[in-house]
Amino acid sequence: MIVKIATAAAGALLAMSAGAHAQVWSLEKSAYVDLSGALFVKKPPVGAAITPSVQIAISINGTPVYADAFGLAAPGVPANVNTVYRFGSVSKQFTAAALLSLIEEKGGALLDGGKSPAGAKATLDTPYADIFSYAEAWSEKPVTLRHMLNMQSGYASYTSPPATPPNPFDTTKPIKPVDLSRRILSILTYNKSPGGGGAYNYSNTNYFLLAQGIEIIGGLTNYQDAIRDRVLDKAGMSKSGFITDSMTGLVVAQPGVDVSNRSYKDPSWPKGAGELMGTASDLLKWHKALMDDKLMSPKARAAMFAPGPLADPKTNAYYAMGWTVSSVGTVTWASHGGTIPGFSAYSGILFDAAKNKYVSVAILINNDLANTQGGLLDAWGKCYAQLAMDKASQLSKLGPVAKALCPGA
């Protein structure tokens, strides 16, 4: 099934107003996005086992204006807008949101580094070792929750450690939770961090441990409960869950490449670093709930998007909390990609503070080669966002930014 949102009548426009400024989506813009999706499945990345599928969703000020899917979710099974894909590292956005919500509830209302209120269990500046004593041996200086959220912990990534401890586990096979914890403890002891607050160092270990922190702070057996209660349910993400869920009644996309010998393909590995799955339309619901402050306070949302360490000098992008952010004037682009064996994902929000407008984009693909094809999803995401932000309904009248980012428009 294919859904077109902006198709009320030939030449019809879907317009939204924010103040005196109108945001316009048109059939011509839909056709442009259609073409990029169709071309992708016509010429899939090298090594694809099946013609991969791509699912794309776009919204303006929280209102969906486009949702469609192209290609095959599995051999002989066409993808549709309800097909479920793995999010990979886009899951980090949800881990961060659940932790921020939990910290606020547990008394850590001062998210800006102030002293904890009486009885507070944790703030963003609580050292991880204060809630998990083993962490004292992993760094020369304290590493806080903020450092971990901002990828400034200095912790080695358990999925790509610089030095592997003796007797490593086979990463191509399932692993028991206790063995995975042993592996991470061993890696962090073997590759000691100098301490938090240093340069940007992307590490899946941070968000794996933050999921564990959610369990400790929240008194939970499984951090998934916090994600469901604090994010998925509140945002109305009924077609999203975890890769261990059955997703009854929904088609779950199969990898479009052979992952039989890939490391970390089993659901037992990612935890808070990449364990969610769902639809692109559900990711738009996540964006809307976040921007509408339904999941946390405005102060906590500001902390989530606040620039941390410089992540990419070429684009002047900084790592925030589950987002990479870059700004030009009053316009901010916040996004995160995800790659997990067999899947690629992208989640992005373009916000113009001067106009109080935002557009959001979600892209899901059942092929993990997409994010390595010259930044394909990042390029698509920025193009689609600018198409939605530009007030022109006709491609020939687009502004220079949208023209520059969208080839052929």
For residues 349 and 359, the answer to whether their CB atoms sit within 8 Å is: yes
Q: What is the pLDDT of residues 144-168, one digit of tens each?
A: 999 999 999 999 998 887 766 666 6
Q: How far apart are CA 36 and CA 228, in angstroms?
A: 33
Q: How far apart are CA 322 and CA 349, in angstroms?
A: 12
What is the mean pLDDT of the segment spanning 78-90?
97
Where residue 172 falls among pLDDT bands split at 50, 70, 90?
A: confident
Q: What is the pLDDT of residues 249-298, one digit of tens each?
A: 999 999 887 777 776 666 767 788 999 999 999 999 999 999 999 999 99
* Region at 54 (left for phi over 0; alpha for psi -120 to 50; beta for the rest): beta
Burial code (b: 16+ CB inside 10 Å, e: under 16) for 14-47 equals bebeeeeeebbbbbbbbebbbebbeebbeebbee
Other beta carbons within 10 angstroms of residue 207's beta carbon come to: 28
Does residue 93 carry a pLDDT above 90?
Answer: yes
β-pairing, 13-18 with 21-26? antiparallel
More confident residue, 14 or 45: 45
pLDDT for residue 164: 67
CATH 3.40.710.10: which residues of the chain? 88-303
Where residue 12 falls among pLDDT bands split at 50, 70, 90?
A: very low
β-pairing, 241-242 with 85-86? unpaired
What is the mean pLDDT of the segment spanning 238-247?
94
pTM of the predicted structure, to 2 decimals? 0.90
- Does the domain at 88-303 match CATH 3.40.710.10? Answer given as yes
Q: How far apart are CA 153 and CA 155, in angstroms?
A: 5
Does residue 19 carry a pLDDT above 50?
Answer: no
First to last CA, the chain: 27
What is the mean pLDDT of the segment spanning 321-335?
95
Q: How far apart are CA 18 and CA 16, in angstroms?
A: 7
Q: What is the pLDDT of residues 179-211, one digit of tens each?
A: 778 888 888 988 999 999 999 999 999 999 999
Q: How far apart are CA 250 and CA 61, in angstroms?
A: 28
Bridge partners of residue 169, in order along the sequence: none
3-state secondary structure the chain: CCCCCCCCCCCCEEEEEECCEEEEEEHHHHHHHHHHHHHHHHCCCCCCCCCCCEEEEEEECCEEEEEEEECEEECCEECCCCCEEECHHHHHHHHHHHHHHHHHHCCCCCCCCCCCCCCCCCCCCCEHHHHCHHHHHHECCCCEHHHHHCCCCCCCCCCCCCCCCCCCCCCCCCCCHHHHHHHHHHHHHHCCECCCCCCCCCCHHHHHHHHHHHHHHHCCCCCHHHHHHHHHHHHCCCCCEECCCCCCCCCECCCCCCCCCCCCCCCCCCHHHCCEEECHHHHHHHHHHHHCCCCCCHHHHHHHHCCCCEEECCCCEEECCCCEEEEECCEEEEEEEEEECCEEEEEEEEEECCCCEEEEEEEEECCCCHHHCCCHHHHHHHHHHHHHHCCCCCHHHCCHHHHHHCCCC
Q: What is the pLDDT of residues 104-146, one digit of tens each?
A: 887 544 333 444 444 446 889 999 998 888 899 999 999 999 9
Q: How far apart are CA 14 and CA 306, in angstroms?
A: 32
